[in-house]
Amino acid sequence: MAQEAENKDIDQYHYSRNLDNAVQYLSFALGKEEYGVDILRVQEIRSWEPVSRIPNVPCYEKGVVNLRGSIVPILDLRERFNLSKAEYTPLTVVVVLQTGDSNKTRIMGVVVDSVSDVISVDKTEIQSAPDFGTKVSNEFINGLVSVNERMVMLLDVDKLLKLEEFDQDES
């Protein structure tokens, strides 16, 4: 009887520990690279549809679309990361992400090649990103994790969706 209770305690301990440390990420592909974003930030996944261009903005800001009545900007992650451009196909996917602080949330869409999987990651297994030098901007990368021998780069959604000149404009 006492033994059983002890076992149960241990089970619960493991279970809660897992819960505490496990974070789920949505992984997607850009070319041969695999990235992940915190799944709690993902609002929805849509197929690519033509956008309305916004004049005089950086080229990775593709434009805006009508998402059920609100105007949502679409960013191209390939261009944001200075990767080679890809043609938009019917399989191209837009991941709609939420960002912002407690008093104001924004939603934005990012264009990716394809969505792969939802992965559970143990927090303790996340490595900090090595310094890539200047070539690849790693300011958006929170850390690295390996899933089935593949490397997945975990992105910081808030930094990713922070638009340049934004704060300048507002000040």
- The closest alpha carbon to 62, from 165, 170, 163, belongs to 163
Partners of 171 in the β-ladder: none
Q: Which is nearer to another protein, 94 or 121 (CB)?
A: 94
Q: Which is nearer to another protein, 105 or 127 (CB)?
A: 105
For the record, the structure tokens of 59 come out as 């080229």
CB of 90 to another protein, least distance (A): 18
Q: Which is nearer to another protein, 3 or 56 (CB)?
A: 56
Spell out a b/e string for 143-171, using b for 16 or more CB atoms within 10 Å of the CB, else e: bbbebeeeebbbbbbbebbeeeeeeeeee
Does the protein bind another protein through residue 80 (CB under 8 A)?
A: no
Does the protein bind another protein through residue 166 (CB under 8 A)?
A: yes
Does the protein bind another protein through residue 52 (CB under 8 A)?
A: yes
- Residues 98-137, one symbol each (x = binds another protein by CB under 8 A, - = not), give --------xxx-----------------------------
